[in-house]
Structure 1
Amino acid sequence: MPLLSRLAEATDERPGAIRVQDRSLSWVELRRAAAAVADDLRGATRVAVPATASLETVVGVVGGLLAGAAVVPVPPDAGPMERDHILRDSGAELLLAVPGTREADSPPLVPLNLARRSDTRHPEPDPAATALILYTSGTTGAPKGAVLSRRAVAACLDGLADSWAWTPDDLLVHGLPLFHVHGLVLGVLGPLRVGSRLRHVGRPHPERYAGAGGSLYFGVPTIWSRIAAQPAAARALRGARLLVSGSAALPEPVFTALAGLTGHRPLERYGMTETLVTVSARADGPRRPGIVGVPLPGVHTRVRDEHGGPLPADGAAMGELQVRGGTLFDGYLNRPDADAATRTADGWFRTGDVATVDPDGAHRIVGRAATDLIKSGGYRIGAGEVEDALLAHPGVREAAVVGTPHPDLGQQVTAYVVGDGVTEAELIDFVARHLSAHKRPRQVRLVGALPRNAMGKVQKTLLTET
């Protein structure tokens, strides 16, 4: 089956199937515009695409995939050093760009003109061929290119279609960046494989989500938090079928507020660039705050302690989540050393995330092993639980919890809080009344804002560097 199977079969010429901001294409127009791009790329093996939130990005990515090239999305906000690294490291032979673009030190430019059309039917590449090279936003060193096969992308999207009852009748709405798994793989390639319509709203303002009339909405916690803070916008989503949250943990107060305002309990899921989405709540299953669900079909998970030993699925034992299955990447481009460090001796991928698994198989992600598992005085404390407790205080708008060095405890619980009219002592006491005493912060630092990346994830390493 072709990777973009529904697009390959499409005969629908009605406008508006794929809309990005105020511009749209029908299914047939998209296929013919992408085929024209593929004609220009014939023989290329790797192609870079500036991944702006635009129809040009959609047509460029699809054209590259039709041509059988590996597509390398370049974040539009990448600085010169990051951009040059991605282009050099990926070995991109061509750069797709709108006519008139001038890029210094770039591969040869191929003009991306949406007015061109072609009826060429390009042969479907081998499923094992590379579809995408996505660069990770690592905390140390230059970004690494994760090599994702066409087979892995298809396995992920088919698993999500099953879990979310995602069909051609859906209208997907989101405003996510088009250079990550969430916005590009799920948010663009998903509709082209499933056959649903897509509306990308540009910047994900609450009023744009409210006016989109979708059945399926994607968002990161920052988006959902802003929507929950505008009750009128949230209530406008009552006609939707699913509200999906990912890329970071959804705070429990936001989950509760959305459920009350929209009538929908948000559906949470878990994945990484290297694994695509591997675990998700189901449309026909329970949805609980903080629970990211069960493995997708064909995906297997396990939780291991720091010595590699098994941990019980009792909902309490915290350890590293390890994954195997058809959605995994093929490795880091040109980095066999980094790739080897992520694999266990028996072939499982080490996510670096800490999780618990309930007896019913439901997974909860505690956070990153490096920053979110705090070992204090012999206790293992999940940062997310303390963050949720802080966010339950009416004066707290944002919270991030990390472990910082302590001469007696090894690590202490330290909280960074954005709030209104709150004090350190008040918040420490508030958490102590809600959680075990050893989980209370020993220090609360009140800050004006938390550092976040493009997907809304808090960059905790930047907090501890200040």
Structure 2
Amino acid sequence: MLLSSLDPAAVAAGHDLADAVRIDGVTLSRSDLVGAGTSVAERVARAQRVAILATPTATTVLAVVGCLIAGVPFVPVPADIGATEREHLLNDSGVQAWLGELPAESQGLAHIPVRMHARSWHRYAEPRPEATAMIMYTSGTTGLPKGVAISRSAVAADIDALAQAWEWTAADTLVHGLPLFHVHGLVLGLLGSLRIGNRFVHTGKPTPQSYAEAAGTLYFGVPTVWSRVAADPAAARALSSARLLVSGSAALPTPVFEDLVRLTGHAPVERYGSTETLITISTRVDGERRPGWVGLPLAGVQTRLVDDEGRPVPHDGESIGQLQVKSPTNFSGYLNRPDATAEAFDAEGWYRTGDVAVIDTDGMHRIVGRESVDLIKSGGFRIGAGEIETVLLGYPGVAEAAVVGVPDDDLGQRIVAFVVGDADPDRLIQHVAEQLSVHKRPREVRMVDALPRNAMGKVLKKVLATGGGDPC
């Protein structure tokens, strides 16, 4: 059963939990989740596909639970998404109705409300493991967002593998304030808790104070969250009683990693994944946690590095290669895009992640970044933008940094850094040359007021590389 802790028979036999989910000022017991979720399932069961406005509310939780009980695929839609992108998601996915909250612009779709106090104890057969659980859209950094079909078996396999790596059990209280339309917040945070059976607390906004007050044992955050926590020593120290701090979705700057160790006593766990693969690589609770490295493949996951011709790349901790993954957590395909699906996999079933990485002799992985924008070929060297960005972010006065390669007649590509903050550009170039190999130093640092980002918050490096940016 995908939502193991919500087995109706077990709940009826007394295995309830009064505070299984706390979100937006509402507390839901397991009995509430089963009864109200089944009530939602009865109203949505005849639908082929629905959209859920993924606000951090009890309504969203029950909408998701109801869909999973009924076996109806759902599309989580960000509440702050732009009109054009929302229209694309709704049209491309073919959803028939909004389930739960209704946005200001419904696009003419029907509305199925979630009745918080309605209860049903009807029993639904567990859907087939290969059935689609949800369709989650990519961030659209290389074009219109693509719908990623994620199966129930992929979700279950990922949560079980992470539970093993992190020693995640029903005794935990998992805390986060992340969006419920991303893998991190929705699949790991909410669905993970409903499968493992631990208490789940959503803080609304992921502020240092809300994290400190939640009294959790397991915390999820993205680097921005952990940076803010580390900048609030009192809040950070309050997390010292936790068991595990997990960071993902982007590289955690080394200074933030070190501050968390100093203030909380915990070296954070870092992990790697994508919408298409869910989480496939992670440092372990009982293993090495090295700043800038995301760990080892999870149980059942295979990874490999290849060069442009498909040849193996040495695992020497330095050589950069294209990262490919073969995993039971891999997606079923892109919705309505058989061409893109075929292009994403090779003949042996390896998924081409589009990321570049290095692997050391112990099998530890370090993600360099996206091959399309983060792999810079300069003066005969293959250089990862992420490594340079990490060094820049460790320099006093640097708030944000993005590194790109721009065309250069002599070098092929010239390394250019776009920096938000208050620092001397020449000193930043020198700092990188001191911390890394000289050939990895930026040839130019441009101070800007802000980095261009898409609706999902990802930096638009192609805009920077073609002359974009917002200069000071």
Matches within 5 A, 1:67-82: 67-82=70-85
Match of 2:207 in 1: 205
One-letter code of the match for 1:162?
Q
Aligned match of 2:144: 142
Within the alignment, does 1:7 sit opposite 2:21 as a pair?
no
TM-superposition CA deviations, 1:176-231 (whole Å, max 9, x none)? 00011111000100000000110000011111111110000000011111111111
Contact 1:45 1:68 (C-alpha < 8 Å) held by counterparts: no
Q: Does 1:257 align with 2:259?
A: yes
Mapping 1:63-462, distance limit 5 Å: 63-98=66-101, 103-420=105-422, 422-452=423-453, 457-462=458-463
CA contact under 8 A between 1:269 and 1:293: conserved in structure 2?
yes
Contact 1:17 1:198 in 2 (8 A): yes
- Cα offsets for 1:125-156 (capped at 9, x unmatched): 00010001001112233211000110111000
Give the TM-score of the pair, scaled to structure 1. Answer: 0.96
Aligned equivalents of 2:397, 2:141: Cα separation in 1? 31
Distance 1:164 1:455 in 2: 28
Q: Given the superposition, is the C-alpha separation of residues 195 and 453 from structure 1 closer, same or farther in structure 2, using an over 3 Å criterion?
A: farther
Structure 2: 5+ residue stretches without partners: none
Determine the C-alpha separation between the residues in 2 that align with 1:368 and 1:136: 14
Give CA deviations for 1:424-451 in whole Å, capped at 9, x if unaligned. 1111122222222111111101122334
Aligned positions, number = 463
- CA separation of 1:14/1:436 partners in 2, compared to 1, >3 Å: closer, same or farther? closer
Deviation at 1:452, TM superposition (A): 4.4
Q: What is the root-mean-square deviation in Å for CA atoms of aligned residues?
A: 1.5
CA distance 1:435–1:22, change in 2 (3 Å): same
**In 1, distance between residues paired with 2:168 and 2:458?**
26
1:209-263: CA deviations, max 9, x gaps? Answer: 1111000000001111111111111111100111000011111111111111110
Corresponding residue number in structure 1 for 2:43:
40
Residues 363-403 of structure 1: CA distance to partner in whole angstroms, max 9, x if unpaired?
A: 11011111111110001111122122222322222222111
Q: Which amino acid aligns with 2:6?
A: L
The reply to whether residue 27 of structure 1 matches residue 26 of structure 2 is no
SS in 2 for 1:237: helix
| Counterpart secondary structure, 1:140 | coil
Q: In 2 relative to 1, CA 220–62 (structure 1 residues): closer, same or farther, beyond 3 Å? A: same
Q: Which amino acid aligns with 2:432?
A: V
Query: Could you tell me how far apart the structure 2 residues matched to 1:273 and 1:80 are?
Result: 22
- Distance, in Å, in 2 between the alignment partners of 1:80 and 1:433 is 46
Q: 1:424 to 1:170 in 2, by over 3 A?
A: same
Q: Tell me the distance in 1 between the aligned counterparts of 2:126 and 2:247.
A: 32
For 2:62 and 2:252, how far apart are their aligned partners in 1? 32
Q: Which amino acid aligns with 1:424?
A: P
What letter is aligned with 1:447? Answer: V
> How far, CA to CA, are the matches of 1:79 and 1:446 in structure 2?
28
**Whole-angstrom CA distance in 2 between matches of 1:147 and 1:339:** 11
Check conservation: 1:375, 1:410, Cα contact below 8 A. yes
Residues 395-416 of structure 1, C-alpha deviations (whole Å, 9 max, x = no match): 2222221111112101111111
For the Cα contact (< 8 Å) 2:81–2:455, is it kept in 1?
no
Corresponding letter in the other structure for 2:111: L
Identity of aligned residues (%): 58
